[in-house]
Amino acid sequence: MGKIYRVFLVDDEVWILVTLQKIIDWRKYGFEICGTARDGQVGLERIKNLKPDLIFSDIKMPGMNGIEFIRELRNEKIDAEVVVVSGYSDFEYAKSALKFGCMDYLMKPVDEDELIACLNRFITRYEEENNENYSNDESEGMNEVETADAYLSERRLSHLILLYIQENFQSVSLQSIADEFNMSISAVSQLVKNKTGKSYSKHLLEIRIEKAQELLRNTNDSIETVAEKVGYSDYFYFMKFFKKATGMSPSEYRKNL
């Protein structure tokens, strides 16, 4: 076996650290976990000593959050690659992290295949940067790197667009997404379809219905108020789509809880 890459994990939730350590056989893919930390400050000190090649960091942590942690890594001239691990609701954090040159972005719960693909991209990048894996046909090698970078950029963009929709579901539109990301409406629509397997309108509808169900279960809000809170100013329009999606009216759904 060739080089074993050293990985450090930072997350304030113990179960996330445990899950990441057990989700795959790291050694099988050429990696080993060299250390963990439950906050950025402790992580920073341990990383200085352990010198990992790759760091997985949560975004939202008490004390030093993920963005501050990444900034400190760069200030300390620690050149390990960083992969951000975060939830759907952290859109602005994710955008900031990518600005600091994070290699990749994974959403919780971390998918095994996504993680393996991320590790493979890291190896490709590492070997290219260290001139260890160039083929005799240099142009072919460069094309592979460019293709990988383009794929990574699309993945990042897809993640951010889905985060944006999740955070702004009450008032979001294809136009507002296109304006936010400086894209065409058709390009946004295609990215959402590629990532979710659904049209933009169906994806948004599912989010709104899920949020409406949460409100119906957990609050005493009137049906009209629930409709407004999930982005429907027309009460009857909301009733129509809720029944189509769930098979019952909002009031029937609430009675059956």
The predicted structure's pLDDT at residue 143: 54
Give residue 71's identity as a one-letter amino acid code.
R
Q: What is the pLDDT of residue 57?
A: 93
Q: What is the per-residue pLDDT for 151?
A: 55
Q: Is 83 helix (H, G, I), strand (E, B) or coil?
A: strand
| pLDDT score at 134 | 45
**Residue 137 CB burial class (10 angstroms; 0-12, 13-18, ≥19):** exposed
What pLDDT is attached to residue 63?
Answer: 80
> May I ask the CATH architecture of the domain 201-255?
Orthogonal Bundle (1.10)
- Using only C-alpha atoms, the chain has a radius of gyration, in whole angstroms, of 22
Provide the CA 134 distance to its chain's centre, in angstroms.
31
pLDDT in tens, the chain (257 residues): 578 999 999 999 999 999 999 999 999 999 999 999 999 999 999 999 999 999 999 988 888 888 889 889 988 999 899 998 887 566 676 667 766 678 888 888 888 988 998 898 899 888 877 755 444 444 454 455 455 455 556 777 888 888 899 989 999 999 999 888 888 898 889 889 988 899 999 999 999 999 999 999 999 999 999 999 999 988 888 999 999 999 999 999 998 87
Q: Rounded distance, CA 252 to CA 255, Å?
A: 5
| Segments making up each domain of the chain, as ranges | 5-133, 201-255
Residue range 5-133 forms a domain whose CATH class is alpha beta
Please give the pLDDT value at position 247: 93
d(CA 169, CA 204): 7
Mean pLDDT of the chain: 85
The label of the residue with tokens 């890459």 reads: 5
Q: What is the pLDDT of residue 86?
A: 80
Question: What per-residue string of b and e applies to 232-242 under the rule 16 or more CB within 10 Å gives b?
Answer: beebeebbeeb
pLDDT at 49: 94
Q: Which two tokens stand for residue 212?
A: 């409406």
**Residue 146 confidence (pLDDT):** 53
pLDDT for residue 74: 87
